[in-house]
Amino acid sequence: MAETHIPHPILPPPSNSVGVLGWLRRNLFSSPLNIALTLLALYLLYTLIPPLLRWALLDATWTGDNREACSAHSGACWVFIRVHFEQFLYGFYPDDQRWRVNLAAILLVLGAAPLFIRAVPDRTKIRLGLSLLIGYPIIAFVLFKGGRLGLSAVDTSSWGGLLLTLVIAGVGMIAALPLGILLALGRRSQMPAIQTLCVTFIEFWRGVPLITVLFMSSVMLPLFLPAGMNFDKLLRALIGVTLFQAAYMAEVVRGGLQAIPKGQFEAAAALGLGYWKTMALIVLPQALKLVIPGIVNTFIALFKDTSLVLIIGLFDLMNIVHNATTNPEWLGFSTEGYVFTATVYWLFCFGMSRYSQNLEKRLHTGHKR
Amino acid sequence: MPELPPASAHAPLSDQVMIEMQGVHKWYGAFHVLKEINLTVRKGERIVVCGPSGSGKSTTIRCINRLEEYQRGRIVVDGQELSNDVRQIERIRREVGMVFQHFNLFPHLTVLENCVLAPIWVRKLPRKQAEDIAMRYLERVKIPEQAGKYPGQLSGGQQQRVAIARSLCMNPKIMLFDEPTSALDPEMIKEVLDTMVTLAEDGMTMICVTHEMGFAKTVAHRVIFMDGGEIIEQNSPAEFFTHPQSDRTKLFLSQILHH
């Protein structure tokens, strides 16, 4: 007798395991402890959010141009930020020359925009990215510093605010990554001289705090230089930050290099590729992709560490806000100042973090290891 | 697999020597892995190397393109002697294709990019020409439709065929196969062996480390048996399988043929 198999009907899942209710049950009310923690969290939010909103938005002062405007309200005095906003952005950069900074910013946005558009082919993106990496710093430097092409010279000591923060972070990132890659390759080199050199360099710079590096560059370095020779304080800080960051970057990249299977090197060698081509075409693209989270982590740390330059008297965003809060005319508004500073830092760091996640997803080629 | 007439019935091999290994010794630290390897491979000759694991089979063929260093002896490939000169080594590697047990495709590149990379960067071919050549070889290994995919999206057998195509794109004079089917599921072994057979039909000089005795019987001119870092015995497949000379060969054959 032939039995026909009747397929079991497809049933919907139990209603309490899907939808909003299912989600709530699974994530917030799955056990007595979870219920207690959920209620506690709700209570904390209830006590914290309303006063915060009242201070930052509802009772805050948004208009006016002096501190008296703020006395009518009990909340935050955003007038303080408004009045100093240009200063926070440009530092002491001369008013009539600020268009140069704006122009550089617009050029960067226009130049980099195609990198974020999905439809642009990858090959074009790589070419554009590389030419930006090399070309843009030169353009930006000429625009900021001036002294040629009919632009009046602006001394680096008057650069400040967000501009200075971005200059230090940008130079640190752009210069530290290639240097770090070279150091990582050197540390794995078969040649003992190169290996020793790289290990010594990395271990030295990783072993000292950034503050010490900055102090040394601004206080001690001039002692060793011949009398009369003077190099720019900002340049010295940039070199210090770059070398310091390169050592960290080298170790991040080395982690990626170690994850590349030996077979990749062998396959490249068997095809007749030399050392540099193997590294550039086969090993580094894979290794760097693996360590994107580590690289971005280092970048974010660097971005925030730029605030340390205040100890050598550079007025980056952090320092210039701090400076404004000590202005006798505007005493008592340091909370607003630091909340503003924190928000700006957070926006940049969060942006980097999101971009890196996006990049990781896009570069995933479904390969298994 | 397509039946080839027995290798002995082929046209006589040319006298041109492609690979000459003379008294090659290799040590890993104090461990003597290769002992007095002497091997001459003529143009168009197909050799299968077999033996128990750890016998030095892979190490021997990896010496030919200098993936392994050796401490004594000399190896001449296509008239050029291997030395410590990096340029000389790279020149020889261009002429010697290699297929690995674990494929070793470049996972960040598509199948087509895997195939054109070396022709473009080593042979300096224009991209268009390199792509034409690559598509021709991908058609030969019967996977032109996968050209735009990444290796991670292919089956093991497909990956190994891409690896063969990648090597062929360099137009090598010699192909080395290092256990090309050992990492494959049984149903995929055949497609890779078939590809290797078509290669043999075209007169490619091949050295193949494998345990596929069927392949050895139909394709090889000569079978080499290694054990303990030495070449124990070499003979035509007909003689090798029916009248093995040494006891170790007999033991090995009884173990691999009767399981």
**pLDDT at residue A229, rounded to an integer:** 66
Q: How many whole angstroms separate alpha carbon A286 and alpha carbon A257?
A: 8
Q: Does the CB of B105 have a partner CB in chain A at under 8 Å?
A: yes
Q: Give the mean model confidence (pLDDT) for residues B53-61.
A: 92
Q: Looking at residue B1, what is its pLDDT?
A: 47
Element holding B161 (H helix, E strand)? helix B156-168
State the best of A122, A271, A286 to mutate against chain B, taking most chain B CBs within 10 Å.
Answer: A271
> β-pairing, B31-42 with B222-227?
unpaired
Average pLDDT, chain B: 89
Confirm or reject contact between B80 and chain A (CB < 8 A). Answer: no
What CA–CA distance (Å, rounded) separates A68 from A79?
10
CATH code of A79-93+154-363, in short, is 1.10.3720.10
Picking from B164, B171, B116, the residue whose alpha carbon sits closest to that of residue B141 is B164
A267 to B104: CB separation less than 8 angstroms, yes or no: yes
Look at residue B213 and tell me whether its pLDDT is greater than 80: yes
Residues on chain B touching A264 (C-beta within 8 angstroms): 104, 106
Tokens of B108: 């960040």
Asked if B122 and A281 come within 8 Å (Cβ–Cβ), the reply is no
Residue A78, CA atoms < 13 Å, CB-side half-sphere: 10
pLDDT digits (tens, 9 = 90+) for B120-177: 999 999 999 999 999 999 999 888 999 999 999 999 999 999 999 999 999 999 999 9
Q: List B41's β-bridge partners, or say none.
A: B19
Q: In this predicted structure, what is the pLDDT of residue B259? A: 56
Tokens of B181: 């089917």
> What is d(CA A224, CA A208) in angstroms, rounded to the nearest whole number?
20
The number of C-alpha atoms within 13 Å of B183 and in the hemisphere containing its C-beta is: 16
Distance, in Å, from the CA atom of A245 to the CA atom of A170, rounded to the nearest integer, reads 12
Average pLDDT over residues A348-366: 85
H/E stretch holding B225 reads: strand B222-227
> What burial class does residue B101 get, using C-beta atoms within 10 Å of its C-beta: 0-12 exposed, 13-18 middle, 19+ buried?
middle
Q: Which of A7-16, B193-202, B209-218 has the lowest mean pLDDT?
A: A7-16
Digit-coded pLDDT (tens) for A4-48 = 888 888 888 777 677 788 888 888 888 889 899 999 999 999 999
- For the entire predicted model, the pTM comes to 0.83
Tokens of B129: 């020409």
Q: What is the CB neighbour count within 10 angstroms for residue A299?
A: 22
Find, among A363, A366, A335, A307, the residue nearest to A80 by Cα. Answer: A335
Q: How many CA atoms lie within 13 A of A111 on its CB side?
A: 20
Run of H or E including A98: helix A98-112
Residues from chain A contacting residue B115 (CB–CB below 8 Å): none
Q: What is the pLDDT of residue A369?
A: 40
- End-to-end distance of chain B based on CA atoms, in angstroms? 22
Least confident of A1-15, A127-141, B27-41: A1-15
